[in-house]
Structures are given as structure tokens and as C-alpha cells.
Copies of this chain bind each other. A is one copy, B any other.
Amino acid sequence: MPANETPTIPQGEPVPHWLALAEALTPALYETEQQPLRLVAAVADASHPLRYRMEDLGDVASLAQADLRAGDSFILDFGGHRTGYLSFLLGTSGREPDAPARLRLTFGEVPTDVAESFEPYTAWLSRAWLPDEVVNIDDLPQSVRLPRRYAFRYVKVEVIATSKEFGLRFEDIRAYAVTSAKSAAPTLPTAAPAWARRVDEVSIATLRDCLQTTFEDGPRRDRRLWVGDLRLQALVNYETYQQNDVVKRCLYLFAGLPRADGLVNACVYEKPRPTYANIVALDYAALYNATLAEYVAATGDIETGRDLWPVARRQLEILGQTVNESGLFVDPGDTWLFIDWNDSLHRDAAIQGVLIIAYRKTLELARIIGLEHEVPEYPEIILKMVSAARRAFFDAPSGLYLSGPDRQVSIASQSWMILAGVPESDAEAVTALRQVALHPGAIQATTPYLVHYYTEAMFACGMQQEALAQIQRYWGGMVAAGADTFWEAYSVEKPLLSPYGDIHVNSYCHAWSCTPAYFFRKCMSFEQEASGF
């Protein structure tokens, strides 16, 4: 999630001992060698959500006997998504090669990446993010291992030039998938329906491919560590890979690189050295506390909880300044509020909910680490904010939470109010969610990030069947569209949605989409529910 136009942030001094701790926690990366399964062709097909189907063109072994000349190309299918590297032995046919070879390689997470030209490129993100590469290879035959890391299932290889004397052959093509996920994650019980087991696999693959030396938001593009993405990945991680030291490392990276006043940045860069990304979002700073509290709860790592406790307290000291005397969030107007990619979304209700959650989670953390006495005011603040929220946003006649002067109805407002515990009963929460689903003008979710919280709100008020139906419709929709990992942006109605103006720069393996595996394990039990399907 990159921010478009955001102001420069006055950053604080880095905290060397926390950054050193983060550095010491850098996990090893495990490499898995894989060979391409098949040669494929992308065939235009309007019935497929991404406009193409992949047709089998046969065994990759034929490339070792090929005679590929300028203009020739092929597409490799590795059978699934990976974050990693590519190598091949570039051999020749014909006479002894008397020139270098020039190739264009395009790495595709989905068929559109390798089926369509990237030109003209009209997105506002850097053209340098597009996963194509032109390489010149001397002294053939030559073993080639491309130095950059890519995110891919498909690799399109186009021969730009050989000489008249020789053609190209490709042998021993290998991908090297990397992840810091140590072992396979547990699978769902066989009682779970097939669709859920597949959605679960794809969720876990998404986490695996984002789980590098930090929790990257997307291995293809951005590759930053964002608080919002981290929280969701960490929740899935506790249920699957349990690479808890990577969560700890990420918590220290944020703590070690605060804004001048101590507010946690919305994202930081890990490479080439940890540094500020100069983006702050109020909701993400609040969710840092949730992430820390959940980490300590999941791991029992009291020491880290105590070490980072001042950071958590400081977040609420600063965020608390945005809450007025009656307990209501007042947008200071100078700081980014994320919630979702949607300019028309009114965010006050949602941010109110996030802040209440931050207080609740921080209080839980204080209890676990035995420092509740340091924040005796929190319970009262929470009560005051909940009742302020109710007064400000709840519309009893419709049963909906409305935000802003235009009394805007949105998925975001309902979800965060419910997650913050603002409704007085589950029934009230259920009504809000059912009403918003029926409301023709309701602002919908545009990212899997908000769909996660929407789904979590359903589980929170006992709408398990609806939550499952939503997972099936939304994440299952991506699977039906051919997803091997879950996407940065998706809409059932508009699968070609791009926040950037060009789907070729979308990320198709994106951290904030990986949470079905969490829901399946933490919010329900397939043993009990099996009969429900």
C-alpha cells in the first residue's frame, strides 16, 4: 500500500539498540528449487475474470532442443506462485554462437502479466515496478542466474536478438523460491469443504511468499513493512508458520524508527538499511498497539511487551490528542487516515473504532505485562469513547452507523464500530451488517484489507454463515479467477480493479489478503461446522 500524496514527516532519531535487536532477529531464508511444469500459451477468453486462460503447450524439455530466434518467445508455468529467483542454462543451436543473446524476461503472477504488453503504461506508480527485464548474455553457452528477486508463477521469455548463425536453447530452468517460513503450515481438517481448503492453501501461500526477512506487503511491488499488513500477517502467522521472531523483528523496526514525536510510522523500509518511509497514518499507529498486544498474547514474550510498552503508551498519548473532551475523534486534518483505498469514504466512525480498539488492546497488553497501574485512566477513556461513538454515529431508526455531515453509510463504519464493541448487543451489530449489505448507496470495501475487517465483524457478532459465505464469495472469487496467492486489490464485481490505473502494476500476492487461514482456525471450527456446508 503506497501513499500517493503525503507530506514530509519530521522523523525522530533512530533508536540504535532497537534497530540492533531487529537486525539480530533477521531470519534465515529457506530456498526451494523448482522446475517449470509446462509450456503454456495465454489465450484471450472473455469468460475468465482476468481475460485469459492458459493452454498447455507441452513439455519444457522441448526447449533444450529448440532453435529460438529473434521474435520467438515462450511462457513457462511453474504451477504456482513463488517469491524467488530464476536460473537457466542458455545454450545454442546452429553454429558456434558469435554474439551475445538479448532476451526480455517478464515475470507473471497472473496470466495478464505475460499475456499483454505493458505499453502504454499509464499508472501513477513507477514504471520500474513492472516485472520485465532486458538482459544481454555473453559467451554462450552460459549459466544465467538473474540477480534480482521476482514474484511469479509464469515467466515469459522473448528472444530479442541472437545472430544469424545461431538460435537459443534453454535447459535446466529453475526457480528458487525463498521464504523465512521454516516448515509447511498445518492444513485444514478434511471436514472442511474443498473450496475452503483451497482458499486456505492460497492464504497460506500468500503469507509464505510475503514472509521474507520482514513481513513484506507484497513481494512483487512495494515490499515495505506496513503496520496494517503486519497485523494481519501476524494473526495468520500465529495460526500457521509461527515465525514469531519475525513479528518481533518488525515490531522493533517500527519502534526503532519513530516520527519525531514518537508516533510509529505507517511503514518503514528494510533495505538497503532500515529507514523511515515518511508516511504516517493515524489508524496504522493505533494498530501498532494491537499488533504488539497480540504478539505478547500469542507468544507470552512479556519481556518484549515491557520493552516496547513505552512505545505503545506514547502512541495513545499522541493519538489521544485527536480525541475531544466528549470522547470523540476529531480529524486533525494533517495526518493520513487510511482505513481503505477510497477517496469518497468518510473515515471518522472507522477511526473512532480503531482508536477504541487501540485502547482496549493496549489495556490488555498492560494487564499481561503487569503494568495496568500505569494506565488507570484507560477503562474510563474506553467507556467514554464507546458512548461518544454511539451518540455521534449510531442511527437507531436504520440501525446503521453513519459518518460525517452527509451521514455516510459504509462497510468501514459498520465494521470498525462493531469490532470496537460499540453496539450494545450482537443483535444490534447483526442489524448494522445486514442493513449495510442492503443499502444501495453504502460505500463498499475496495481492498481485501477492509474486507478482512468486515468479515471479522461478522464473526464477532456471530454471523458465522455470512462470514463464511463472504470468504467464499470474495477470496473464493479470486481462486475461481485463477489466484495462486491472494491479490492486493479485488472486487467480485470488478476483478480488473487497480488502485493505480493499470492492473499490470497490481500486486497479486499481497499480505493483507492472507487472512482466511486465520478465520478458518481462530474464528470457527470446521469440525462443528461441517454439517453447515
Interface residues of A (CB under 8 A from B): 2, 8, 70, 95-96, 98-102, 124-129, 133-134, 136, 138-142, 147-149, 160-164, 222, 224, 269, 271-272, 275-278
Contacts and interface: CB of A to CB of B under 8 A. Distances in A.
Contacts of A126: 98-100, 102, 161-164
Nearest to A133: B136
Given A2-B98, A100-B128, A125-B163, 9 more contacts: A96-B276, A100-B129, A101-B128, A102-B126, A126-B162, A126-B163, A128-B161, A133-B136, A142-B272
A156 to B, nearest CB: 16
B96 A140 contact: no
A465 to B, nearest CB: 41
Contacts of A142: 272
Contacts of A163: 125-126, 128
| Number of copies of this protein chain within its complex | 2
Nearest to A162: B126
B148 A272 contact: no
A138 B161 CA distance: 26
12 contacts: A8-B95, A98-B126, A99-B126, A99-B129, A101-B128, A102-B126, A125-B163, A126-B163, A128-B160, A128-B161, A138-B149, A139-B272
Contact of A102 (B128, B162, B269): B128
Contacts of A148: 136, 138
Cβ-closest 7 pairs across A and B = A99-B126, A127-B161, A126-B163, A102-B128, A139-B271, A128-B161, A100-B128
B128 A272 contact: no
A236 B519 CA distance: 78
Contacts of A96: 269, 275-278
Nearest to A142: B272
Nearest to A224: B98
A161 B278 CA distance: 21
A101 to B, nearest CB: 6
A491 to B, nearest CB: 25
A164 B124 contact: yes
A127 B269 contact: no
Contact of A98 (B133, B139, B162, B277): B277
Contacts of A277: 96, 98
A362 to B, nearest CB: 29
Contacts of A98: 2, 126, 222, 224, 277
A275 B269 CA distance: 48
A102 B134 CA distance: 11
A107 to B, nearest CB: 11
A256 to B, nearest CB: 15
A134 B160 CA distance: 13
B127 A160 contact: yes
Contacts of A162: 126, 128
Contacts of A125: 99, 163
Nearest to A221: B99
A222 B141 CA distance: 16
Contacts of A129: 99-100
A133 B148 CA distance: 15
A91 to B, nearest CB: 11
Given A134-B134, A272-B142, A95 B128 contact: no
A100 B224 CA distance: 12
Contacts of A278: 95-96
Nearest to A5: B164
A126 B163 CA distance: 4
B128 A99 contact: yes
Contacts of A160: 127-128
A354 to B, nearest CB: 24
Contacts of A222: 98
A98 B265 CA distance: 15
Give the most central of A128, A149, A163, A224: most B CB within 10 Å: A128
Contacts of A149: 138
